[in-house]
Structure 1
Amino acid sequence: MLPTLTRGRQITAAAASLTLAATLLGGATAPVLAHGEATQVSSHSQTEMLQPDPTSPTAYEFGETLAGLEGEELEITFLAEIIGHHRAAIEMAQLELERGTSPDIRTHAENIIANQQHQIDQFTRWLDEWYGLTPEEAMAQAPAEAQEEMKVLEEETQMMVEELSAVEAGEDFDVAFVQKMISHHNSGIIEFLELQSRADHAQLRVASSAGITAQQAQLADLRTWLAGQN
């Protein structure tokens, strides 16, 4: 059992992360029920209301898990998750370039591909240099709770990509891409929060802060664009 003081610090860190996340994300969260299940909103209703997809409750759970980790374990677990998260964003952005029609949103997709591929390369290199691990090996070394959450997040992200792949080219695709990318960026910011202040390596703290800044700026633009489509 963890000492009382240590548990207290972890609980405080988790609470602070969730409070900051809610502030950064503008309350863009999925309503959570007693057992952590989000209320379901049909994709048809979301399209009519032109609201972003809800942020996964599992992303917040993973943020709490990161808040309870320290040092090498914190960095390895984060890097194992964020690399896959970025890969999914790039996959969706590539679909936008293939099927979208809005010049503004296509520009955002190009920026997402460039920025997140840069971080994937950076993070993969650091995992190897610092810990001698591939992203897959890092995931296998993560705590069991984190592995379970990462598995759920991967499944949810894959479903997001599949849903987007089913949308036909045109203006509707732009809307669907923005709705899903807002949710995806929200999750990314949650994952970055602990690392920007508590990563052992200064390079990772700087990269996490840069990731938050870039995704916050994109979120503001995407939300403004989506609101203008009503």
Structure 2
Amino acid sequence: MLRRALLAGVAVGTTVVLAACGGGDGADGMDHGAGTTTATTPPATATTPSAAASAGTGSNAADVSFAQMMIEHHRQAVEMAELAGTRAGNAEVKALAEKIIAAQQPEIETMSGWLTAWGAAVPEPSMTGMDMGGMDHGSSMPGAMSAQDMAGLAAASGGEFDKQFLTLMIAHHEGAITMAQQETSQGASTEAKALAAKIVTDQQAEIVTMRELLTKL
């Protein structure tokens, strides 16, 4: 009887020890599990300021630059075209100049509205040729006329004006096309890219017209 009691005590003690060890293993397993979950959870993807701005406005830096520079570029084209009203000698040159004003002035207003919506600066109007609205884009703007070009055009009249106007406006249009093509490849705004594509189509057609007119003068 004594031996049985001793054996029973040993068995109970062993069971208690094993249960305690088992509880420790379970807790340890939970700790490892929690550690594994934390280690394998992918970190949150960081969003750069430029990406956040694009997501919030639908535009990027290329769109802003395009709108600012094209506003200045268009204003100079309109200034050149307005000279034709009193200086051009050819009726077709005058008609083309009126078409340029009618197309580009509304585009200036459209792009100005975009810049305001995007929280970006709208270039100040300028009639000084190279000042180009004070945005310091004149030297880097393809096809932009210099102050000397603008002064020479303003001093001409009749057939001389017509030739200068067409020659300078062809170069001006080619610059606008270069800028617009850059926007279609780098911009994010659907509306800005659509306008850029329109500018390419419209001004390529006008270049063809102007080259034909030059052969008639």
Is the structural similarity TM-score above 0.5? yes
CA, structure 1 residues 135+152, in 2 after alignment: closer, same or farther (shift >3 Å)?
same
Q: Residue type of the partner of 2:150?
A: V
Deviation at 1:164, TM superposition (A): 0.4
Q: Which residue of 2 aligns with 1:95?
A: 83
Match for 1:177 among 127, 145, 165? 165
Match for 1:121 among 103, 109, 126? 109
What does the per-residue CA deviation read over 1:121-168, in whole Å, with 9 as the maximum and x for residues that have no partner? 0000000012243235xxxxxxxxxx76x232578433321120121x
Confirm or deny: 8 A CA contact 2:145 2:172 kept in the other structure.
no
2-structure distance, mates of 1:78, 1:132: 12
Confirm or deny: 8 A CA contact 2:88 2:159 kept in the other structure.
yes
Larger Rg: 2
Q: Residue type of the partner of 2:155?
A: A
Unaligned runs of at least 5 residues, structure 1: 1-70, 137-146
Give the TM-score normalised by structure 2: 0.63
SS of the equivalent of 1:135 reads coil
Q: Select the structure with the greater relative contact order (CA < 8 A; seq sep ≥ 6).
A: 1
Q: Please list, as runs of the form range in 1=range in 2, the aligned pairs for 1:1-230 lying within 5 A after superposition.
A: 72-135=60-123, 150-153=137-140, 156-167=145-156, 169-229=157-217
The sequence identity of aligned pairs, in percent, is 29
Aligned residues: 147
Deviation at 1:213, TM superposition (A): 0.8
Deviation at 1:201, TM superposition (A): 1.1
CA, structure 1 residues 213+178, in 2 after alignment: closer, same or farther (shift >3 Å)?
same
Give the TM-score normalised by structure 1: 0.59
| RMSD (Å) for aligned C-alpha atoms | 1.9
Decide which moves more: 195-204 or 155-164.
Answer: 155-164
Confirm or deny: 8 A CA contact 1:89 1:181 kept in the other structure.
yes
1-structure distance, mates of 2:82, 2:70: 18
Q: Residue type of the partner of 2:187?
A: A
What does the per-residue CA deviation read over 1:179-209, in whole Å, with 9 as the maximum and x for residues that have no partner? 1111111111111002124321111111001
Deviation at 1:79, TM superposition (A): 1.5
